[in-house]
Homo-oligomer: A and B are copies of this chain.
Amino acid sequence: MTKNAKYILDIINESKDHLTAEQVYMRLKEKNKKAVLATAYNNLSYLYHQGFIRKVSVSGYPDRYDKMKQHDHLVCIRCGKLSDLLLEDLTERLQKQIGVPMLSYDLEINYICDECLEKEQNL
């Protein structure tokens, strides 16, 4: 694990938000001024494939990166806003129902956030 990869892993783990590669890059630059966007992408990709971080993909928005620790997401179908949810862990329940070994699961609850709801009501 290289210096940049370590920095990035820390950035992800310390952040309460769901950061895009661009945002990770901006924070990485605070620690390593020479860093470049592609390096952020490359290391995020590496960390993801090694299973050190999660990646949340919502169509129409850039990928966002997240801690590994199991948790679920509330996704606004209008603006893509992402919030964490701590729901019961479904791992066992799901594993029983599937024939193959499960690595992890991603559960996203779709809703419309307050701001978007308000906007739609003001039409």
Contact = CB atoms under 8 A, between A and B. Distances in A.
B88 A97 contact: yes
Contacts of A102: 109-111
Identical subunits present: 2
Nearest to A105: B109
B105 A107 contact: yes
Contact of A87 (B58, B77, B98): B98
Interface of A: 55, 57-59, 63, 74, 77, 85, 87-88, 90, 94, 97-98, 100-112
9 contacts: A59-B63, A77-B103, A85-B97, A85-B98, A87-B98, A88-B97, A105-B107, A105-B110, A106-B110
